[in-house]
Amino acid sequence: MASGIRNNTEIPGSDSETTTDTLLLACSLAVPPGSLVVEMGCGSGGAMIAASRMNPGCRWIGFDLRLAPLNGINARASGQSSLPQMFIMQADASAPPIKSGKADAVMCNPPFAKDRERRRSPDPSRELCRSAPPMAIHRFIRTGADLLREGGTLVMINRPSVLPEMLLGFRASGLCAEIIQPVGMPACDARHIILTGRKGGRAAFRLSAQRTPESILQRFHDAVPGEE
């Protein structure tokens, strides 16, 4: 890995460490000031907080089924005057607390494992964020598409094996898949897939060349001096 960029990166105002997939998601969002951005399954807020550093002047709404991480976001944000205003709510992806068609962008990092595909965690909260029912990906995509205004953007990260399911979900929900970004080390299979689509979009589909995590995460380090 390149010097100065770690698998776990400290983000001011967030947890002491935020995982690579969380930061990759944040670095893949680019919206103009004034945009309303929603994160489904925001957890402890790492992606929103990181994305806010790279997209100043936006409004942020996050919701998650788990209450404990949400309380942590509010506690940290109260002591961080530099953080933008964030509205945090407890809700399930199937019943979001936001009106349809209001978001300019939605981002999500659904659980990578399906139920029964991995050893269960004794921690119920950890289990919720790591595994989900088989149709969870489609539920996230359908809800994200519903929240978006026409022309709004959905950014999602997951494992490469789920890409066909993601593409099918985008098409079924009226989202035009515009960019597939494989992420992995040189001469190795991709470890992550970042899919970006637009509601009602008509742009030509683009499969980007595989990039390393470091090259994508550099955007965050450039935006937050001292986070080396």
CATH code: domain of residue 83: 3.40.50.150
225 lies in a domain?
Answer: no
Closest CA to 165 of 178, 179, 182, 177: 177
CA atoms within 13 A on the CB side of 83: 23
- The answer to the question of residue 101 being in a domain is yes
Confidence of residue 167 (pLDDT cuts 50, 70, 90): very high
- 101 Cβ partners below 8 Å, 6+ apart? 146, 147, 148, 149, 150
In this prediction, residue 185 carries a pLDDT of 97
**Mean pLDDT over each residue of the chain, to the nearest integer:** 83
Q: Is residue 9 part of a domain?
A: no
pTM, 2 dp? 0.83
Find the distance separating the first CA and the last CA of the chain, reported in whole Å: 13
Task: Give yes or no for residue 13 having a pLDDT over 50.
Answer: no
Domain count, the chain: 1
Residue 12 located in a structural domain:
no
Whether 4 is covered by a domain: the verdict is: no
Q: Is 3 within the bounds of a domain? A: no
Measure the CA–CA gap between 59 and 38, rounded to whole angstroms.
9
The confidence score (pLDDT) of residue 76 equals 60
Whole-angstrom CA distances from 163 to 3, 69, 182, 212 are 30, 28, 10, 18
Per-residue model confidence (pLDDT) at position 66: 85
Flag the least confident range among 16-25, 114-123, 145-154, 219-228. 114-123
Domain of 87, in residue numbers: 20-220
Q: Which residues pair with 14 in a beta bridge?
A: none
Q: What is the predicted pLDDT for the residue at 82?
A: 63
